[in-house]
Structure 1
Amino acid sequence: MTACVETTLRAAALPMATVRSQVTVPLRFPDGFSTTAEVLTFRGLVDGKEHLLLALGQWEQTLLAHDVPLVRLHSECMTGDVFGSQRCDCGPQLREAVEEIAAAGGFLLYLRQEGRGIGLYSKLDAYALQDTGLDTYDANLALGHGEDERDYTAAAQMLGALGATSIRLLSNNPDKAAQLTALGIDVAEQVPTGVYLSPANHGYLAAKRDRTAHTLELSGADVGHVPPATAGTVPSQDEILSRVDELVPRLRERAEETERLRRLPESTMNELKEAGVFRILAPLELGGYGMGVKTYAEVIRRLARGCASTAWTAGHLIEHVWMLARWPRRVQDEVFANGPAPLAAATSAPVGTARKVPGGFAISGHWSFASGVMHSEWALLAVQSDGVRLQCLVPVAELELLDAWHTAGLRGTGSNDLRAEELFVPEHRAMDWALLSAADNPGSRIHSDPMIHTPMATLLNLVAPAAALGAAEYAVDVFREKMLVRKVQNTIDNRQADSPLAQARFSQAFGLGATARLHWQEALRIVSSSLEHQPSGLTKDERAKYRLSLALSGEAAEEAVRLTVSGSGGSAHRLSHPLQRIQRDVNVLLNHPTLSLDPILEQAGRGLLGLGFTVPSF
């Protein structure tokens, strides 16, 4: 006899249950979402189990107004709900249900029916059988259990005790609706949940779809969570770097155009996209390449050998894809809907203000230095709300873009200003910066890529040093080429390279470039080694050495460029000459906070001496 027939026979004589207790419980999920639930317990449940009902949102008003509450019957799943197992979709469904019901007003019934009613140990035994090739239903049958042993009589009792006899059911499972209907609960509407596809649960979801008619659409076009790319579609580090090297000559050809436009030319942006540059830090689950810090830094360095503005812009746009992958699932569904590399600008200077309003925040501010904004769909903006630093994700189209980037160097980055006045930002697109920037961030609960667990500050400090190094290496190459053909006035030499003084100058510039490179490589060694052993971040000693090495790399790069320019004569100051542009770009880079020498030397010294940092963000 099926569960549906059995419940039909019992519906007429369904015993009444009564509320045993009610207590207020504030909820906070790992991705930062929080709400308040009234948790109810019951007497008289037919199966004698300790089921819970979480009343969420304006549930009392909904019942008083005779509206239809939104309800989810959620079967307990310790592996998914507690430990984040990806073999099922229970954890994400629970998280989604709480937010949806809190917004609509209704109930989440947390039913003690582990493993579709067969219990925790038997569920784990079934997992072992699934590993041999059985699907989730055949594994249950092989253990002597039914495909699905859940009975929702107690759920109907709980709803009846609150007078919720007509509901909107949040579920993809038709059996839940059928059983509730047979038990006297009117299911006015069945609302599907999201589809939470992962590499580990595709077969599980497909079995639910094919064998028990769950309303699940698993095609990649509709899911929004792309399975990991196969090995053939993810390039190696060498392949990515080779693609970048091929771009360098064209970046040099467009350097003047880039400065004139004060943004990257569309041809450059198209080539960067085609090379997959913006995908290198995007998680595999989103269709990215899931590469590490060394590849990221090396890409910026090599791009700077062609154009520092391009390296700076691309470096930050790559980094911001990685930042977006740290947000909760709902935001990721939104921003990654059109591909694995959504482009976003980010700025925190100065911090704006945010005022709490129904459903979100009203933000105001005037933000500067929004690098890459001319190519971005989104903007990540820093705001302050009641003493808490937030980052808000806002469509660029909703902001006022101010043409303010008129500078001596890095002109091609288009790092313009943004302004907003009382702009509404939905609550799900505002995140506590402390949570978002930490190793344990919302995205780290979704993606397995180690980089998502890396504290935000690790990458924020890399762009300027890598760009300065690449630009200095380009300058030394240009200097060498010019020396081999240039005739210097007031000397007897046929070319500059024949002069002993010029030879000494070149060797000094070359050596400074090598010094910059060695300091930079040491910084990467420190951070890579640390992340291998302690993904949660650098120790204070490591951070002091890391920041010091990057700062000394920048200083040596700047001096190498200065020597090349001062030894290249008056022609080097023509706007058509690459050396003058490199010098202006590097001068601006060295004024960025990540390379500002004096404060870095002070804080690094304190760290190396064990005195502690006086700047917490160092």
Structure 2
Amino acid sequence: MTVVSEPFTPLAVAVAAAAIRSRVTVPLRFPDGFVSTAEVLTFHGLADGKEHLLLALGAWEQALLDTDVQDPAMPGAGPLVRLHSECLTGDVFGSQRCDCGPQLREAVEEISATGGFLLYLRQEGRGIGLYPKLDAYALQDTGLDTYEANRALGHGDDERDYTAAAQMLGAIGATTVRLLTNNPDKAAQLRVLGIGVTEQVPTGVHLSPANRGYLATKRDHTAHTLDLAPADLPSDEEMLARVDALVPRLRERAEETERIRRLPDATMADLKEADVFRVLSPKAVGGFGMGVETYVEVVRRVGRGCPSTAWTVGHLIEHVWMLSRWPRDVQDDVFADGPAPLAAATGAPVGQAVKVPGGYSITGRWTFASGVMHSEWALLAVQHGDARLQCLVPMSDVELLDVWHTAGLRGTGSNDIQAEGLFVPEYRTLDWALLSAADNPGSRIHPDPIIHTPLATLLNLVAPAAALGAAEHAVELFRERVLVRKVKNTAENRQADSPLAQARFSHAYGLVATARLQWDEAVRVITASHQRRPMAMTDHERAQFRLALALSGKASADAVRHIMAGSGGSAHRLSHPLQRIQRDVDVLLNHPTLTLDPILEQAGRGLLGLGFTVSAF
């Protein structure tokens, strides 16, 4: 896409003339094999006294002649020009923290093809210098964006001045140009300095997992023409349609999932192909940045196929979201290989941490590590004095204990993790209170609203979502069953002809409808809190939220039990999906997010304005 500027008009700023000092021909070869030839020009009389270079590329003489016979106010007039600020880290060392190296390579090829000039300007770090730029990188690792870091060091957002660039262009006769840039400030400065810009030609968008946040900040802060949305970004409806298409396959593999006590490889491949794990991942790292409503609906619909898969999927999606709340240096690690790093997370029981040089030594045995069978990373809770920390460790550094032998949710493979004296670098530890808060390090990096959501909000959603989806599937199965089943010792041809069976089905249907209504109420409360800043629920809203989820889970479980009671003995065969649904839902109801008695007590206190006695409620 090309952005056409306003027609060139003469400007009032007078710029001293510069003179060409020398010319030398230099053959160019880039690491990917691209070759070109540049005539490199140096200059006398540049305003800042620096050793800037002009690389004349392609048929540049003809490009200058073509300008003379065109109306300089017409779009497309002038040689193609790139003002490229020196970037040692990106241009030479291939740093992924910026897009400078790829832009340099792209510019040489584009200008060589059409004729024009690449100006290599000695103004590292947007004019602040190499050392200060690296200092700014260190501040960015603490959560500041690129502009905030500059200001914290006492510099301006962008200290570059293009007076020397205008002098160089004037010396070679290029007073009207087509500018290859995404930065509107470059075009504005050149016009003020007397260089006509007839067309602003955007460069490509050179994304890497490490530079998405940097590019997003340039787009949002200084209006760079950058489209950072993933090319394959689906709508919420498209994402849910992908999940719906998976449900039949999840049902076919539910028995295998339970038998092998983990998600089958084919299921993981299907989920990754559908990009399910990118739902809450920030857009700046290539994720979809969707909201809580879509997230919980994904879990619920997966639950219609297999509750164990829904539990695992819900937590793996959620843990990507947890990783996106960490400081930038950790995000550079975990998102280096893609937008959806898979991590297990557990805090039960909390391990112990001892401060050592450079970090912590942690020891513990952590249970209920959801998603552990499919993860590269583990998020482990530890206690250090009065502080609770979360530690991020590679799965290869810990011991996985095969202990997940349960009556239900067997397919989640939520095994134990053990570590003894494991060293964790300090930058991969984070105070739990900071991680949990709406104002977390990641919220200063990513604009996606979901990153500002308090941690406990999403932690409470997976169990009731999976239970509701399972109950909805159970009603489907019960309907199919009563319409064909012949009950022994009765006169009816099928169970559905019995008034008692009709009443039982309508009761089960109504219980699921109740579960759905309570579920909708919980999601409504979350959505309302998202309309405010900060995204914090009042005690009354938190009580409403937890109570609605608990009552939704209870109604889902009641529906499943009611269905099983009317489904006959054969429904208890291990080959029948109803018995597996019942066992899975029974286990879900024992999770702390659905354990009814303490939730009723705390919700009552919140609704009565008495305050909670459980801080995590």
User: Residues 2 and 267 from structure 1, CA distance in 2 versus in 1: closer, same or farther, beyond 3 angstroms?
Assistant: same
The answer for unaligned runs of 5 or more in structure 1 is 8-69, 96-109, 119-129, 147-192, 208-225
Aligned position for 1:55: none
- The RMSD of aligned alpha carbons is 3.1
Post-superposition shift, 1:565?
Answer: 0.5
Post-superposition shift, 1:237?
Answer: 1.1
Post-superposition shift, 1:197?
Answer: 2.9
User: Residues 360 and 522 from structure 1, CA distance in 2 versus in 1: closer, same or farther, beyond 3 angstroms?
Assistant: same
**Alignment map for 1:364-383 (pairs within 5 Å):** 364-383=363-382
User: Residues 116 and 321 from structure 1, CA distance in 2 versus in 1: closer, same or farther, beyond 3 angstroms?
Assistant: same
| Cα separation, 1, equivalents of 2:217 and 2:155 | 24
| Cα separation, 2, equivalents of 1:85 and 1:145 | 36
Aligned position for 1:508: 507
Asked if residue 472 in structure 1 is aligned to residue 497 in structure 2, the reply is: no
Give deviations 1:134-164, integer Å, cap 9, x for gaps. Answer: 7434534555699xxxxxxxxxxxxxxxxxx
Aligned position for 1:229: 229
AA of the residue aligned to 2:563: T
Aligned position for 1:198: 215
Give deviations 1:31-82, integer Å, cap 9, x for gaps. Answer: xxxxxxxxxxxxxxxxxxxxxxxxxxxxxxxxxxxxxxx99336999xx99x
**Alignment map for 1:326-337 (pairs within 5 Å):** 326-337=325-336
| Cα separation, 2, equivalents of 1:517 and 1:341 | 30
| Cα separation, 1, equivalents of 2:264 and 2:531 | 38
Give deviations 1:147-205, integer Å, cap 9, x for gaps. Answer: xxxxxxxxxxxxxxxxxxxxxxxxxxxxxxxxxxxxxxxxxxxxxx9896313527999
2:392 match: secondary structure: strand
Aligned position for 2:100: none
AA of the residue aligned to 2:380: L
User: Residues 382 and 479 from structure 1, CA distance in 2 versus in 1: closer, same or farther, beyond 3 angstroms?
Assistant: same
1:418 match: secondary structure: strand
2:368 match: secondary structure: strand
Aligned position for 1:318: 317
Aligned position for 2:563: 564
> Conserved in 1, the CA contact under 8 Å of 2:151 and 2:157?
no
User: Residues 539 and 512 from structure 1, CA distance in 2 versus in 1: closer, same or farther, beyond 3 angstroms?
Assistant: same
Aligned position for 1:528: 527
Give deviations 1:357-403, integer Å, cap 9, x for gaps. Answer: 11111000000000110000000000011210000000011100000
| Cα separation, 2, equivalents of 1:374 and 1:134 | 46
1:362 match: secondary structure: strand
2:531 match: secondary structure: helix
AA of the residue aligned to 1:591: N
AA of the residue aligned to 1:228: L
| Cα separation, 2, equivalents of 1:75 and 1:255 | 52
> Conserved in 2, the CA contact under 8 Å of 1:325 and 1:452?
yes
| Cα separation, 2, equivalents of 1:499 and 1:194 | 65
Asked if residue 136 in structure 1 is aligned to residue 185 in structure 2, the reply is: yes
Give deviations 1:215-265, integer Å, cap 9, x for gaps. Answer: xxxxxxxxxxx97325x5211111111111111111111111001100000
TM score, norm. by length of structure 2: 0.70
| Cα separation, 1, equivalents of 2:607 and 2:368 | 32
> Conserved in 2, the CA contact under 8 Å of 1:227 and 1:287?
no
1:501 match: secondary structure: helix
User: Residues 541 and 138 from structure 1, CA distance in 2 versus in 1: closer, same or farther, beyond 3 angstroms?
Assistant: same
> Conserved in 2, the CA contact under 8 Å of 1:227 and 1:285?
no
Post-superposition shift, 1:2?
Answer: 4.6
Post-superposition shift, 1:116?
Answer: 1.9
| Cα separation, 2, equivalents of 1:468 and 1:195 | 37
| Cα separation, 2, equivalents of 1:113 and 1:508 | 67
**Alignment map for 1:15-414 (pairs within 5 Å):** 72-73=131-132, 89-92=146-149, 110=153, 115-116=158-159, 135-140=184-189, 142=191, 197-201=214-218, 228-230=228-230, 232-414=231-413
| Cα separation, 2, equivalents of 1:196 and 1:450 | 15
| Cα separation, 1, equivalents of 2:398 and 2:284 | 31
2:215 match: secondary structure: coil
| Cα separation, 2, equivalents of 1:75 and 1:400 | 37
Post-superposition shift, 1:494?
Answer: 1.0
1:542 match: secondary structure: helix
Aligned position for 2:454: 455
AA of the residue aligned to 1:201: K
User: Residues 322 and 204 from structure 1, CA distance in 2 versus in 1: closer, same or farther, beyond 3 angstroms?
Assistant: closer
User: Residues 396 and 75 from structure 1, CA distance in 2 versus in 1: closer, same or farther, beyond 3 angstroms?
Assistant: closer
AA of the residue aligned to 1:450: P
Aligned position for 1:170: none
AA of the residue aligned to 1:521: D
Aligned position for 1:483: 482
| Cα separation, 1, equivalents of 2:347 and 2:355 | 19
Post-superposition shift, 1:596?
Answer: 0.3
Post-superposition shift, 1:92?
Answer: 4.9
Give deviations 1:512-537, integer Å, cap 9, x for gaps. Answer: 01000000011101111111124422
| Cα separation, 1, equivalents of 2:287 and 2:377 | 18
| Cα separation, 1, equivalents of 2:269 and 2:182 | 44
> Conserved in 1, the CA contact under 8 Å of 2:183 and 2:223?
no
> Conserved in 2, the CA contact under 8 Å of 1:410 and 1:585?
yes
> Conserved in 2, the CA contact under 8 Å of 1:228 and 1:286?
no
Aligned position for 1:599: 598
2:348 match: secondary structure: strand
| Cα separation, 2, equivalents of 1:530 and 1:617 | 18
User: Residues 605 and 377 from structure 1, CA distance in 2 versus in 1: closer, same or farther, beyond 3 angstroms?
Assistant: same
| Cα separation, 2, equivalents of 1:563 and 1:460 | 28
Aligned position for 1:154: none
| Cα separation, 1, equivalents of 2:398 and 2:182 | 53
AA of the residue aligned to 1:401: L
| Cα separation, 2, equivalents of 1:579 and 1:6 | 77
1:457 match: secondary structure: helix
AA of the residue aligned to 1:596: T
| Cα separation, 2, equivalents of 1:583 and 1:75 | 57
> Conserved in 2, the CA contact under 8 Å of 1:76 and 1:111?
no
Aligned position for 1:539: 538
Identity in percent = 64
User: Residues 581 and 615 from structure 1, CA distance in 2 versus in 1: closer, same or farther, beyond 3 angstroms?
Assistant: same
Post-superposition shift, 1:491?
Answer: 1.3
Aligned position for 1:36: none
AA of the residue aligned to 1:411: R
2:294 match: secondary structure: helix
> Conserved in 2, the CA contact under 8 Å of 1:281 and 1:322?
yes
Give deviations 1:438-494, integer Å, cap 9, x for gaps. Answer: 000000000000000000011000000000000011111101101111111121111
User: Residues 71 and 427 from structure 1, CA distance in 2 versus in 1: closer, same or farther, beyond 3 angstroms?
Assistant: farther
2:616 match: secondary structure: coil
| Cα separation, 1, equivalents of 2:410 and 2:133 | 55
> Conserved in 2, the CA contact under 8 Å of 1:441 and 1:453?
yes
> Conserved in 2, the CA contact under 8 Å of 1:198 and 1:227?
no
Give deviations 1:398-421, integer Å, cap 9, x for gaps. Answer: 100000100000000000000000
Aligned position for 1:125: none
1:484 match: secondary structure: helix
User: Residues 3 and 292 from structure 1, CA distance in 2 versus in 1: closer, same or farther, beyond 3 angstroms?
Assistant: same
AA of the residue aligned to 1:425: V
Post-superposition shift, 1:4?
Answer: 6.5
User: Residues 487 and 389 from structure 1, CA distance in 2 versus in 1: closer, same or farther, beyond 3 angstroms?
Assistant: same
Number of aligned residue pairs: give it. 460
